[in-house]
Homo-oligomer: A and B are copies of this chain.
Amino acid sequence: MSGVSRRAMLAGAAATTALLGLQPAAAAPLQAPGVYRYRLGDYRLTALYDGVWYLPIDDKFIRNAGGAEVNAALDAAFLPPSVLPISFTALLVDTGRRLVLIDTGTAGQITDTAGSLIANLAAAGVPPDRIDTILISHFHPDHIDGLKTKDGAKVFRHAEIWVPEPEWSFWMDDGNQSRASGAVLGYFRNARRIFHDIAKEVRRFRPGDEVAPGIVSVPAFGHTPGHTAFAIHSGGMSLLVMSDTVRNPYLFARHPDWQPLFDMDGPMAVAARRRMLDQAAADRMLVEAYHFPFPACGHIARTATGYELVPVEWSPL
Given contacts A12-B19, A78-B298, A294-B313, 5 further A-B contacts (CB under 8 A): A26-B94, A26-B99, A28-B94, A30-B317, A78-B301
Q: Does A299 contact B (CB under 8 A)?
A: yes
- Find the B residue at minimum CB distance from A17: B125
Residue in contact with A9 in the complex, picked from B19, B23, B35, CB distance below 8 Å:
B19
For A24, the closest partner residue in chain B by CB is: B125
Chain B residues with Cβ below 8 Å from A34 are: 314
Oligomer: number of copies: 2
- With CB as the reference atom, state the residue of chain B lying closest to A285: B78
Residue from the set A46, A52, A94, A313 with the largest chain B CB neighbour count within 10 Å: A313
Whether A299 lies near B78 (C-beta < 8 A) is: yes
Q: CB distance A49 to B13 under 8 Å? A: no
* 27 A–B pairs (Cβ distance < 8 Å), ordered by A: A12-B15, A16-B19, A16-B20, A16-B123, A16-B125, A17-B125, A22-B35, A22-B124, A23-B125, A25-B46, A25-B94, A25-B130, A26-B96, A28-B46, A28-B124, A29-B317, A30-B316, A31-B36, A31-B315, A31-B316, A49-B314, A78-B310, A85-B313, A85-B315, A116-B316, A293-B311, A294-B313
Shortest CB distance A122–B (Å): 6
In the docked arrangement, what's the CA distance between A293 and B34, Å?
16
- Does A72 sit within 8 A of B, measured CB to CB? no
Categorize the interface residue count of chain A.
35 or more
The complex places the Cα of A116 from the Cα of B17 at a distance, in Å, of: 17
Chain A residues near B (Cβ < 8 Å) = 9, 11-13, 15-20, 22-26, 28-37, 44, 46, 49, 51-52, 76-79, 85, 87, 92, 94, 96, 99, 113, 116, 122-126, 130, 284, 293-295, 298-299, 301, 310-311, 313-317
Find the B residue at minimum CB distance from A47.
B32
B residues near A49, Cβ cutoff 8 Å: 314
